[in-house]
Amino acid sequence: MVWDDADTKTKIGADLKRLSQEYDLIGFSPRGVGNSTRVNCGINELVPYIAPPASDRSEQNIQRMIQLGRLTAKACQNNPLTPFVNTDATARDLNLARQLLGEAKLNFVGYSYGTWLGSWYAKLFPQSTGRMLLDGNTDFASDTFEDTFKLQPRAFERDFRDVVAPYLGRLAPKLGLPAATGEQVYAAQRGLSEPLRTIVGFEIAQNLYGRDSYPNLALLLQSATVVDKLTKAKPEITLPELLNASQAAEYFSDPDLNEASKQVAINLIFARDTELQENPIPVVLNESNATFTAVLCNDTPWTTDLGYWRARDDEEAAKYPLIGGSSVSSPCLYWKGGPSVSKPKVPTTMPPLLLVQNEFDPATATEGALNAFNQTPNTKLIYLDDEPQHTAFPYGTECVDLPVTGYLLNGTLPTAKRTDCAAKPLPLEEKVYPVKLTSLGNGQYCWSQDGLNAQGLQSTAAQQAARAARELIAQTARENSGIRGYNILEKLNIQLCK
């Protein structure tokens, strides 16, 4: 457990240890998943194969995405439990749990969607809200959940293009590759042939959630580049021929990295072959995806004008191709009857909230988080300049962690309305490189001092727990492909917290 295994010789570690001693950490299964009654969506219809949305803007492909969205909405709304799976119900379930535990107030730490849930609870039950930390913030001040998700294509693209691609370029010499600019790394992914480009783009997007995964993207991109060259050199190459050629190719001069890349190449080749089969898509959602869909569509209304979404998709497919171009496949656009609940208004007795936000968070964009911060009374913000991953606490620097632990332990909020903190260096680097936005803004976003060394999470068990906690935040699809079976950090014997 992260807090219990913290190094008490540091200020951060001592506070984390106290948290484990003074708090009972209680998790629960929200409606629809886990040990709760599980919700699933399925329908006995298939959708024809959908080509990569950012590359294929044909009318046929767009209509297939629309069909997927409509059938998904129909499948989920056929389940009689679906209307009762929403954030309002979950917030009331939390309040019931608080009462059953005999607690006067609910103390709550919410990550990602948990910020939407936590703020909903605070608005519904302000008198029963205790100390509330929200990290990786949705735009919970907006009237619609739609506004948070509309920010994602740009945020993911920005994180990869302006932070992670330049990082991979700087990392290349340490892996035996020529140094490259961020523009060159970004162009390398964009220059891949379809469907490899979209497969790699999906993997990149999923890896953006946690900074410790970034070095492995070097293996992914190098393997994809070599596989792509093999297919371009022989367009009619068969699957067995491509597999054999990939195992004979050289990816890195380091033998261990080279062998790891061969395995990555095999996974990419099989993923590519699956896409080339153009099989129809079954409309079946597991409990996690079904619950996510129900909450997304039941909480607040969505714009239903398909003309609006089609125009937006065309623009985002061109500007933000990593994940952009497929909004018309969202089931919320076709959700009959609209939301099943009403979002609570901000009460006059809104309790204080402490927010933590990374500047380049891909999943919960800074623009939405800052709107929530600015529009919600009694909030304080800890803002991590130049930090690219999704969510932060515990982060490992005193600037971030001590105000958080002080608040959770003593109820003391930071004095300043907003506290700006420096990011840590990315893995295998000794300093932070200020991020220069290439096309989404002007100037450099920088900070005044070197990144602080991580403190308070020195034990191996604590490091593993911290990594596991961040992994839980990502969507379940991150674990399905098997492409990230090798850890460059382990190869080079680099600890997560230095």
Q: Which of 210, 189, 158 is nearest to 440 (CA)?
A: 158
Residue at 227 is within a domain:
no
Q: Cα(489)–Cα(266) distance, rounded to whole angstroms?
A: 22
**Residue type for position 72:** T
Q: How many domains does the chain have?
A: 1
CB 446 within 8 A of CB 386: yes
Question: Residue 416: which domain range?
Answer: 11-34+88-149+343-491
Q: For position 490, what pLDDT does the model report?
A: 52
Residue at 224 is within a domain:
no
Residue at 110 is within a domain:
yes
Give 10-residue mean pLDDT values along the chain (498 residues).
77 92 90 93 96 98 98 98 97 96 96 98 98 98 97 98 97 93 96 97 97 96 98 97 98 95 97 97 96 98 98 98 97 97 97 98 97 97 98 96 97 96 96 77 29 35 40 36 46 38
The residues, ordered by sequence, that sit 6+ positions from 340 with a Cβ below 8 Å of its Cβ are 83, 84, 86, 298
Q: Cα(141)–Cα(121) distance, rounded to whole angstroms?
A: 13
The residues, ordered by sequence, that sit 6+ positions from 298 with a Cβ below 8 Å of its Cβ are 82, 83, 85, 86, 335, 339, 340, 341
We report the CATH number of the domain holding residue 102 as 3.40.50
The residues, ordered by sequence, that sit 6+ positions from 195 with a Cβ below 8 Å of its Cβ are 51, 52, 272, 275, 276
335-to-16, 113, 313, 331, 496 alpha-carbon distances in Å = 44, 21, 19, 6, 44
Q: Cα(243)–Cα(449) distance, rounded to whole angstroms?
A: 48
Residue at 72 is within a domain:
no
Q: For position 283, what pLDDT does the model report?
A: 97
Residue at 333 is within a domain:
no
Q: Cα(466)–Cα(487) distance, rounded to whole angstroms?
A: 16
Residue at 443 is within a domain:
yes
Residue at 144 is within a domain:
yes
Q: For position 8, what pLDDT does the model report?
A: 84
Specify the pTM: 0.89
Q: For position 5, what pLDDT does the model report?
A: 77
Residue at 165 is within a domain:
no
Q: For position 494, what pLDDT does the model report?
A: 36
Q: Cα(154)–Cα(320) distance, rounded to whole angstroms?
A: 6
Q: Cα(206)–Cα(475) distance, rounded to whole angstroms?
A: 8
What phi and psi values does residue 44 have, to the nearest 5 degrees?
-85, 55
